Amino acid sequence: MPPAELARFAQIPLAWAAGEEVDLRIWAVVVGLGMALLAVELARLGLRARRASRDSANREVATGPIDNPALGVVDLDLAPKEGNPHDPRYSRYVGPFRDDQRTDERPAMPWRRVACPPLRGRVALVSLFVGADGVGWSEEEVARHLAALDRAARWMEQEAGRYGASLGVGTAEVYFQVDGETTPEVDMVVAQSGGEVGLFEADMTVRALTLMSRAAAELGFRDAVDFVQEVAARLPGSTAAWLLHLRLAGRSFAVPLDRTELDGVGLAFCHARQANFTEPLIRPPAPRAAVLAHEVLHLFGAQDKYGWPLSHFPPRTVTRRDVMRLDTERLSELRVDPLTAGELGWTP
């Protein structure tokens, strides 16, 4: 606007105060423009305040107000059992389970497909070791896998504490072990896992639950549901999370409650070594605490985040260190980022 026009606008209020006749239409336009600019500036200030509040909340989450004590080994009153010579904290259930051992009152169980429970309170990790190709798990191999599972449990407690969530994760004192069958022939299908699309084994969920059912029968239980119920009844005050350790190489995955085909039965299906497809085990089993933690978190609602670019997620909610991406298998380099924490019920 030319300087002369600006000077004329500046003289309008003075002329009006002196009682002179003025053209208020021009002044109204100026005032309206000023109010619009003021509204825009107030909106910008409000947005900055909300961002500052959110960033402050994220910083408070990162500091962690709760130091969750280690739950450790969780007692499981089930006999007969034999101690593991490589780690006396754990014992193998010998069985078979008898009818006179059945509990009078079983805990309430989700007998239909339900949403995954939040990862809070007390959680007991129960392990079932299944052999393959005529070779069972050795006591040393079992002990090393339970030690890795214990590391995963400590890590989950620490991560929950960063978000102010009260959580104790322990490994069950008693583990279960059965012989397996030969490596099966499987059909392949094109499917999606996380952000990746490729060839995957068909009916993986059915296969995992079938192994669980056969193991239950071999140990003396009526079926997989009966197996899960009787163990849960002996873990009062704790949520039981099952891990089936198969002595084969292959792709580990989880069958949470919202995907199960046996009411109330969910489990993490963990191979002895990681491979794209199921195959005989050539080298000794290699426990990976990061993979175990990743699969356990699936049972409580965490979703895969690998295969997607970070721009796929809301800003500052997922980083390359998120455990559900598994960009590395070093558990010490991984964490639970805000989006995964929300899925686990640790944040609103």
What pLDDT, in 10s, does the model give residues 15-28? 545 555 545 555 45
pLDDT at 85 over 80: yes
Half-sphere exposure of 183 (CA within 13 A, CB side): 12
What pLDDT, in 10s, does the model give residues 130-186? 999 889 999 999 999 999 999 999 999 999 999 999 999 999 999 999 997 766 666
- Tell me if 129 sits within 8 A of 267, measured CB to CB: no
3-state percent breakdown (helix, strand, coil) of the chain, nearest 5 = 35, 20, 45
pLDDT for 55 equals 43
Q: State the sign of the Cα–Cα–Cα–Cα dihedral 207, 212, 213, 215.
A: positive
pLDDT for 16 equals 47
pLDDT for 52 equals 41
Q: State the sign of the Cα–Cα–Cα–Cα dihedral 274, 152, 177, 200.
A: negative
Give every CB contact of residue 2 below 8 A, 6+ residues apart in sequence.
none
Q: What is the dihedral of CA 277, 281, 283, 284, to 10 degrees?
A: 120
pLDDT for 348 equals 81
Q: 67-343 has which fold?
A: Collagenase (Catalytic Domain) (3.40.390)
62 — pLDDT class (breaks 50, 70, 90) = very low
Q: How is the chain split into domains, by residue range? A: 3-58, 67-343
What integer best gives the mean pLDDT of the chain? 83
Pairing of strands 121-130, 239-250: parallel
Give every CB contact of residue 272 below 8 A, 6+ residues apart in sequence.
141, 245, 246, 247, 248, 249, 281, 285, 286
What pLDDT, in 10s, does the model give residues 105-144? 877 777 666 778 999 999 999 999 999 988 999 999 999 9
Q: pLDDT: is 172 or 8 the higher one?
A: 172
